[in-house]
């Protein structure tokens, strides 16, 4: 095996300039490095973002912006659903190394969905700034997730919600990816957004349930209509189908109590 | 690129994406970080990067230029164990020993971060570490004792002046 050509940008501008489709982007390394060690991934070209200056959380009034290589652990102090969702990712060491960008951009795993943080950030209506073909764009996270493998994520930002809630299935083990978790958030204008991680390849909004957000029971009844469930080693499609309504009800009830 | 390993500065020409674990074990002969699952799931390769516990198998060495790495060899010496090593010794917290260096370093990070003797928070701090001997009860006992400052002052099992020369440990500071 020949070692890949490794790009090591030292500024965000250099990272944008060097990025091209097909390059393997490494944030913290928690996903890519084991793939390299095992030989499952043999990239010709890789880009290591450690020194690219893309880490950090900044606030501008109610707007919070999280740089791509910010470790997941730094999100634990953010408001719900982001904080509790980040604290529910893997273990202490992995959270301190894995990055927000990696968590959002991770492709589907060999056995199960990845991207624990996706639903929490969908629930707060996050937008993503990314680079790639056609230049730099800012778009809703929903749209970004569909073509995330072709883009270099620079940062993700959102307005701090007035209330938030996070309802996960308890993980069988600390290292399992999220089998199913529902995030809910009420924006400053009163809009409630609901999203689920772990349903399938990437997280999705639950528009049917959002429309009935003031009625947790009613929202739970319609939640599964918007989703196609993965059937994998972590949980069967049947199990996900049965538990999504429970988590929707819990998240919305929690939200009412905040 | 340069790394400081257990207080000694080292230079490398290793390919940038080589995991730190391979550099420590195969280039430097420091074998306390174990090559267990090599995908971040077992905790046995845990080391300290600038004082905080990390998985050596997941870290591309290029991401660490200039960092200070501490392995078990740098935590204490047979003559002067660190508090957490003493606690592991006193509470018989090692069985086969494969997970022990990772457990000790994660527990050290927990104590340095102001960890308390509460069992539940110790469990959370060590959640990523697997002991296949299932010796968790004694490991948690040891961490709780160290966090509560309940370590015996007399370390009579340790080598004493006049004992045979201690075994040389590769990678340990001189």
**Which chain A residues contact residue B57 at CB under 8 A?**
33-34, 37
CA-wise closest residue to B133 among B89, B173, B96: B96
Question: Which value does ipTM take for this structure?
Answer: 0.93
Query: Which CATH number covers residue A41?
Result: 3.30.465.10
Residue B157 has pLDDT above 90, yes or no: no
Model confidence at A172, pLDDT cuts 50, 70, 90, reads confident
Q: What is the pLDDT of residue A1?
A: 53
CA distances from A101 to A8, A152, A156 (A): 17, 9, 9
pLDDT in tens, A17-44: 999 988 999 999 999 999 999 999 999 9
Burial tier of A63 (Cβ tally within 10 Å: 0-12, 13-18, 19+):
exposed
B40, closest residue in chain A (CA to CA):
A30
**Which chain B residues contact residue A90 at CB under 8 A?**
40, 128
Its domain, for residue A228, covers 5-257
pLDDT in tens, B76-134: 887 788 899 999 999 999 999 999 999 999 999 999 999 999 999 999 999 999 999 99
Q: Residue B24 in 3-state DSSP?
A: helix
Q: Which residues of B touch A (CB under 8 A)?
A: 15-17, 19, 38-41, 43, 46, 52-55, 57-60, 62-63, 65, 106, 109, 124-125, 127-128
Arithmetic mean of pLDDT, A207-216: 97
In chain B, the domains with their CATH numbers are 2-75 (3.10.20.30), 83-147 (1.10.150.120)
Arithmetic mean of pLDDT, A197-206: 92
Closest Cα in chain A, distance from residue B38 (Å) = 6
Put the strands of the sheet holding A127-131 in their side by side order: A57-60, A63-67, A152-159, A127-131, A137-140
Q: Do A48 and B62 touch (CB under 8 A)?
A: yes
Q: DSSP strand E in chain B: where?
A: 2-5, 8-11, 46-49, 52-55, 68-70
CA distances from B116 to A99, B111, B112, B125 (A): 27, 7, 10, 11
Token output for A26 = 């490494």
Closest Cα in chain B, distance from residue A110 (Å) = 13
**Which chain B residues contact residue A36 at CB under 8 A?**
17
Of A36, A50, A92, the CB nearest to B125: A92
Model confidence at B170, pLDDT cuts 50, 70, 90, reads confident
Q: Do A38 and B38 touch (CB under 8 A)?
A: yes
Say if residues B94 and B44 touch (Cβ distance below 8 Å): no
B21, closest residue in chain A (CA to CA):
A37
**Which chain A residues contact residue B59 at CB under 8 A?**
29, 33, 97
Which helix (H) or strand (E) element contains residue B153? none
Q: What is the pLDDT of residue B158?
A: 55
Arithmetic mean of pLDDT, B31-55: 97
In chain B, the percentage of residues whose pLDDT exceeds 70 is 91
In sign, the C-alpha dihedral spanning B122, B124, B125, B131 is positive
CA-wise closest residue to A60 among A138, A129, A161, A158: A158
- Number of domains into which chain A is organized: 1
Arithmetic mean of pLDDT, A99-119: 85
pLDDT in tens, A39-74: 999 999 999 999 999 999 999 999 999 999 999 999
């Amino acid at each position: 095996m020949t070692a890949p050509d490794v790009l090591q940008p030292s500024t965000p501008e250099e990272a944008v300039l060097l990025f091209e489709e097909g390059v393997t982007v490494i944030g913290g390394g928690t996903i890519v490095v084991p793939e390299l060690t095992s030989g499952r991934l043999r990239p010709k070209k890789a880009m290591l973002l450690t020194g690219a200056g893309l880490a950090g959380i900044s606030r501008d009034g109610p707007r919070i912006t999280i740089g791509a290589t910010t470790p997941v652990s730094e999100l634990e102090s953010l408001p719900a659903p982001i904080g509790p969702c980040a604290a529910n990712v893997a273990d202490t060491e992995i959270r301190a190394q894995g990055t927000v960008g990696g968590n959002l951009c991770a492709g589907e795993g060999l056995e199960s969905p990845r991207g624990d943080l996706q639903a929490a950030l969908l629930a707060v209506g996050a937008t993503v700034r990314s680079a790639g073909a056609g230049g730099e764009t800012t778009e809703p996270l929903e749209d970004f997730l569909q073509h995330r493998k072709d883009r270099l994520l620079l940062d993700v930002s959102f307005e701090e919600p007035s209330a938030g809630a996070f309802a996960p299935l308890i993980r069988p083990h600390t290292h399992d990816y999220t089998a199913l978790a529902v995030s809910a958030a009420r924006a400053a204008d009163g809009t409630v957004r609901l999203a689920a991680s772990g349903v399938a390849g990437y997280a999705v909004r639950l528009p049917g349930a959002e429309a009935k957000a003031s009625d947790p029971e009613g929202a739970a009844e319609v939640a599964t209509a918007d989703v196609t469930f993965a059937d994998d080693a972590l949980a069967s499609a049947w199990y996900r189908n049965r538990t999504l309504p429970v988590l929707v009800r819990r998240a919305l009830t929690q939200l009412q109590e905040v | 690129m340069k790394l400081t390993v257990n207080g000694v500065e080292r230079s490398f020409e290793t390919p940038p994406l080589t995991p730190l674990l391979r550099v420590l074990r195969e280039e430097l002969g420091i074998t306390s970080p174990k090559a267990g699952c090599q995908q971040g799931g077992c905790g046995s390769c845990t080391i300290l990067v600038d004082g905080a516990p990390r998985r050596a198998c997941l870290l591309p060495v290029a991401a660490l230029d200039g960092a200070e790495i501490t392995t078990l060899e740098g935590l204490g010496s047979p003559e002067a164990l660190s508090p957490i090593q003493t606690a592991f010794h006193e509470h018989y917290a090692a069985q086969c020993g494969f997970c022990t260096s990772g457990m000790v370093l994660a527990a050290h990070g927990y104590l340095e971060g102001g960890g308390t003797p509460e069992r539940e928070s110790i469990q959370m701090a060590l959640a990523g570490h697997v002991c296949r001997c299932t010796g968790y009860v004694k490991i948690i006992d040891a961490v709780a004792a160290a966090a509560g400052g309940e370590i015996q002052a007399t370390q009579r099992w340790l080598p004493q002046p006049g004992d045979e020369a201690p075994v040389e440990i590769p990678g340990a500071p001189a």
